[in-house]
Chains A and B, each alone.
Chain A
């Protein structure tokens, strides 16, 4: 006999289904309890940084930075006469979760702007969401470029604001002739190294004087690779390592360098992903003299910076915490966003996007950051040497700010592309040769 589902369970399942749907449709209200009555009084700002998982190490600091900036702004009276309200979520270093959380922030919490993401993949994951729902994302980390989205503002460095000036410094100031390009195997190092390789070759560096090495994330056993670098560097010509090694793998890498006796005078290492925060996990004694290229260092001797550090220490209640480059990027992004909202008189995405281009704010290192039509900003390039107290001594700074270049001139696929979000072009990937806007935007018309 076949058991036709008896009446009771059927009733039960209907109940469950209704309950489930009801709870889900009510979920918006649950997650943002103050949504209704607070709507008119506050402007919501999304904070999309991982608070758990592998990226928590770097990203929790940025969450705190945004909270600090919001608190500071509220003390000044908020924006457009309204208080700002932070909506913090944890995407847990899980890339699909980033997309889900981004959608939640925009669609359910109705945030005016989102400050967030660290890794390229998290940005790539949320990008379609921001474009679909027309949200605003401020992305504070140096990255590989090759992107200019209508909905994203890139306040970190593009490769031309970090990598190329750094290589120039090594070449001209230290007389480096041989290059090791060592990186973690993901898109940022791959692209940066491609750009650098092309740039070096243009400058007459021979193929055999460039060694390229990729390692996986979190690589911890550097013995063989450091030994190889040592060999490569002992063949007579002055050698330097350009490191795009990511976060966690740096500590064992530098420890191994120190132990194998490679000092900064023998083979200097210039890093693009090692800042004060990363060094605070390392005993920097053996690393003195190795370099890093950024657009900000905590040791920058300006009054603005002193104030920023004091505010940060007061906010985080720990005078030992360091500040770093992505924090400055968030500060700049936040300042520009506040200005743009004030200028536009609304938090409406399109209005803010139009208002923000051309706005300026001061860098912590002096000089000004200006939002460019390609949604990147102008930045000074600083080169610092690691000191034994975990800080950087600034040994070089560009005279003027360098404008961020969304599309690299040194890559075959992108040398003719530009991003320009002002009329008449209004396109993130405009081909200056064919005078056409490529890709998605074209299809959307």
Chain B
């Protein structure tokens, strides 16, 4: 496809749309990184910054929504342009949701550090977070380059997040069974892990939309969900 439209202001709108989307993605990745760091360092002031930072993300999403509607109404895009506007609009919704989940992690960090609750090791949680940050950064590269291969890799990486989530679930059960005083902290960690697992799902969905944006075809077959925690039960006799 030629790069430029005959109407140059159409190009300006499309380029602004891309910038807003990339800015949202970078902001989400930074929010998750900061939320995880706040948890690791028990840094309540950083956690508060994350909570406040979500407002900025919501503002970006509102701007992106307005611009998408303007493009759809005034430019009436077709073909590749249409797919780009639709995929970007949907992707921005996922980023906004991810921002909410990162904010929730920060809120829980505040709670458990205030209560000095025992959580056990959070290494697995940190690895989940790092994987989702990598996925988020990769999806931005895939978007910038219209690269389907990277998008496919991102979809595959979500399995790692699901597996880590399963294993964290088992770890937390063990801690909680060892000493009921751990339950409160572990429950919060589990919810944080669930948040990150959901963030991974959101990035995988963006990857799917990106494949449609570039190729015009939705990827075949559903992604294999490796998250098994909804079927796990604590075995007290073990």
Q: Do A and B bind each other?
A: no
Interface positions of A (Cβ within 8 A of B):
none
Interface positions of B (Cβ within 8 A of A):
none
